[in-house]
Chain A
Amino acid sequence: MRVVVDLNRCQGYAQCCYAAPESFELRGHEILFYDPAPPDEARPRIERAQQACPVRAISIEPAGLDRDDAP
């Protein structure tokens, strides 16, 4: 799955790091390191991280998104 965090918006509240510790990690005082391509089985935790983010900085590609090209 695909994830991107708007790091302009991120304030280092680290709620994502509690919700999905294997995918989000806070380094130093407030540097967020995250896995932009976590395994599909991490989706429930990543969605919790997205919900928990106080500044709504996390975007996730919807499950089962139709990425098909135009015919």
Chain B
Amino acid sequence: MTGDPGIVVVGASLAGLRGAEALREAGYDGPLTIVGDEPYRPYDRPPLSKHVLAGELPPEATALPQQRPLKAHWRLGQPATALDRQRKAIRLGDGSEVPYTKLLIATGARARPWPGEGAHLAGVFTIRGRDDAAALRLALARPPRHVLVIGAGLIGCEAASCCRDLGVPVTLADSNSTPLARVLGTVVGGTIAECLRRAGVAYRAGTQVDALTGEGGHVAGARLRDGGLIETDCVIVALGAIRDTEWLAHGGLRADAGGLTCDAACRALTRAGDPDPDIGAAGDVARWPNPLYGGREMTVEHWGNAVEQAAHAARTLLHPEDPRPYRHLPAFWSSQFGINIKAVGLAEGADAVAIVQGDRAARRYLAVYGRSGRSIAAVSFDQARWLPSYADRIAEGAAFPPILDATDQGRVEILAPGFPPARRGPAAEGRMREVAHV
């Protein structure tokens, strides 16, 4: 091979696409290669667990708009399997080698598979990719007699909501007392528990599923730790995600199941702790010290981060002389049970939550989370227009609660947020730094 191999983007995802567009927008006109393990051009994931499951959108409708010509070599249907930094090349699943001058890593994450017995039974699903959603949609259209959703995070709750819209009986099992307990605490999680109850979802709090049991190769039930059994012919495993970093194992970078560690400018760190100026990372896979949180290392598995971090990492690759820190206020949205949920900041670790707008009983309110007297996060249930004002206060680290004298405010209720105790075990340290969908 002669000449400049150019920039290689690994991951044909939202982050990969927006990163590639940012490179071109900034004037990069050299060779550009985009590698993706799936056979599809980049697509949008949020509709998969909502409108695709509901049968309102075909899976292929989620293809993302491309905002400018990329003139890229697309290498789709080929996972990256190894990184060789000395030779500046990556290896693909078919054994071929792709050299790079610079590399943007956006390999994202994949659904955490069912860890116990019964993972390979027919009728057991995860929701992450287009094919996952298409397969689950086919099963829901039949429909199943009963669906068991394991894990009451955002994806689990959205899936349960869809099943109820389709009229399918659903049980949602989670180890915590309310849904989204780790992300939002059990006080706010209680609002979602109430939505579940009203929609007719059987929420099984404090429930550990030990094994899935089958009959003739198809799932037939779930065995619980307390000895109980749930009969079901469809299981949705919604236990969060694992970062796709195995292919980096011998690349000499700081990569593990929690992500690829980067410096503040989103350059991958070598094992020695120096940034590799030719390798950037963005999206779900990138763990970086966020200046907005005093340099705390985090990965942010949300749509807005994929877009912004990809553009930031692309800029860093093109301007090695001027690395700038990536300062990001995490944000996500979810729609479920007819309610629009939006959040900014990281609520985990909050010691108080204040209901600053609206009415908790009516399930239409805005709550702000505080820690040591500072506002750190906010969540809105059908009150999205208030959120930007609070997001600004949170980004500034304003006192808690941040706004107390608005003319449209009622009495501000301040409560303990009710976060479950931290998980124990070897995985706990890695997990506490994440904003995982679990």
Enumerate chain A interface residues (CB-CB to B < 8 A): 1-4, 6-8, 10-12, 27-31, 33, 35-37, 59-62, 65-70
A62-B72 in contact given A4-B44, A12-B384 (Cβ < 8 Å) = no
- Report A34 CB to chain B, min CB distance, Å: 9
Give the distance in Å from the alpha carbon of A10 to the alpha carbon of B303 in the complex: 13
User: Does B407 count as interface, using CB distance less than 8 angstroms?
Assistant: no
| Complex contact B69–A67 (CB within 8 A) | yes
- Report A71 CB to chain B, min CB distance, Å: 8
User: Does B200 count as interface, using CB distance less than 8 angstroms?
Assistant: no
Q: Which 3 A-B pairs have the closest CB atoms?
A: A61-B65, A2-B65, A37-B61
- Report A30 CB to chain B, min CB distance, Å: 5
A68-B69 in contact given A8-B304, A28-B338, A29-B364 (Cβ < 8 Å) = yes
Question: Which residues of B in the span 39-82 have a Cβ within 8 Å of any Cβ on A?
Answer: 44, 46-47, 51, 56-57, 60-74
| Complex contact A10–B384 (CB within 8 A) | yes
Most buried by B among A61, A66, A70: A70
| Complex contact A36–B44 (CB within 8 A) | yes
Q: Is the interface of B mostly helix, strand, loop or mixed?
A: mixed
Enumerate chain B interface residues (CB-CB to A < 8 A): 31-32, 44, 46-47, 51, 56-57, 60-74, 303-304, 307, 331-333, 335, 338-340, 342, 364, 382, 384-385, 388
Give the distance in Å from the alpha carbon of A11 to the alpha carbon of B386 in the complex: 9
Give the distance in Å from the alpha carbon of A37 to the alpha carbon of B47 in the complex: 12
| Complex contact B340–A30 (CB within 8 A) | yes
Most buried by A among B60, B66, B72: B66
| Complex contact B61–A35 (CB within 8 A) | yes
A-B contact pairs, 16 of them (CB 8 A): A7-B46, A8-B304, A12-B384, A28-B338, A29-B340, A30-B382, A30-B384, A31-B335, A33-B51, A35-B57, A36-B57, A36-B63, A60-B65, A66-B69, A67-B66, A69-B74
A28-B340 in contact given A4-B64, A35-B61, A37-B63 (Cβ < 8 Å) = yes
A70-B46 in contact given A8-B304, A61-B65 (Cβ < 8 Å) = no
Give the distance in Å from the alpha carbon of A11 to the alpha carbon of B304 in the complex: 15
Q: Chain A residues with Cβ under 8 A from B56's Cβ?
A: 33
A28-B339 in contact given A6-B304, A12-B385, A69-B71 (Cβ < 8 Å) = yes
Q: Chain B residues with Cβ under 8 A from A1's Cβ?
A: 65
* Chain A: CB-nearest residue to B73: A70
Give the distance in Å from the alpha carbon of A60 to the alpha carbon of B323 in the complex: 31
* Chain A: CB-nearest residue to B33: A70
Give the distance in Å from the alpha carbon of A60 to the alpha carbon of B342 in the complex: 23
| Complex contact A59–B67 (CB within 8 A) | yes
* Chain A: CB-nearest residue to B380: A30
- Report A24 CB to chain B, min CB distance, Å: 13
| Complex contact B61–A8 (CB within 8 A) | no
* Chain A: CB-nearest residue to B388: A11
| Complex contact A70–B72 (CB within 8 A) | yes
| Complex contact A70–B71 (CB within 8 A) | yes
- Report B15 CB to chain A, min CB distance, Å: 14
| Complex contact A11–B51 (CB within 8 A) | no
| Complex contact B333–A8 (CB within 8 A) | yes
Most buried by A among B73, B304, B338, B384: B384
A2-B382 in contact given A31-B338, A70-B71 (Cβ < 8 Å) = no
- Report A62 CB to chain B, min CB distance, Å: 7
* Chain B: CB-nearest residue to A55: B388
A69-B73 in contact given A2-B64, A3-B65 (Cβ < 8 Å) = yes
Give the distance in Å from the alpha carbon of A10 to the alpha carbon of B380 in the complex: 13
| Complex contact A8–B332 (CB within 8 A) | yes
Q: Chain A residues with Cβ under 8 A from B382's Cβ?
A: 28-30
Q: Chain B residues with Cβ under 8 A from A4's Cβ?
A: 44, 64-65
